[in-house]
Amino acid sequence: MPKYEYINYQNKLFYIYRKIKVSQIKEEIIHEMKNYWLCDSVLKYSNHDENFFLFLREVSDLEIM
């Protein structure tokens, strides 16, 4: 099972499917990439001096044991 980073956003749990630097992608095609990768949301994230787009997939069924 692949290891993902998880994020809680708007009271939902997501895992980060892709993380792309803002400088590496045109904002006009983000929606198309979101659909291509079957992602539920895209967030713009800043980490110190770098900016990223986070392509997120929702964790729908989670069972805690």
Instruction: Evaluate whether residue 27 is within a structural domain.
Output: yes
Nearest to 52 by CA among 60, 44, 64: 44
Domain count, the chain: 1
Instruction: For residue 50, tell me if it sits in a domain.
Output: yes
Burial 18-30 (b: 16+ CB within 10 A, else e): eeeeeeeeeeeeb
Predicted local distance difference test score (pLDDT) of residue 54: 95
28 lies in some domain: yes
In Å, how far are 8, 25, 31, 58 from 65, measured between CA atoms? 19, 40, 36, 20
Q: What is the pTM of this model?
A: 0.83
The verdict on residue 64 lying in a domain is no
Task: Tell me the residue range of the domain where 30 lies.
Answer: 6-58
Q: Does 26 fall in a domain?
A: yes
Is residue 44 assigned to a domain? yes
Q: Is residue 63 part of a domain?
A: no
Q: Note whether residue 1 is domain-resident.
A: no
**Tens-place pLDDT, residues 7-63:** 999 989 999 999 999 999 998 999 999 999 999 999 999 988 899 999 999 987 765
What H or E segment, with its residue span, contains residue 30? helix 30-36
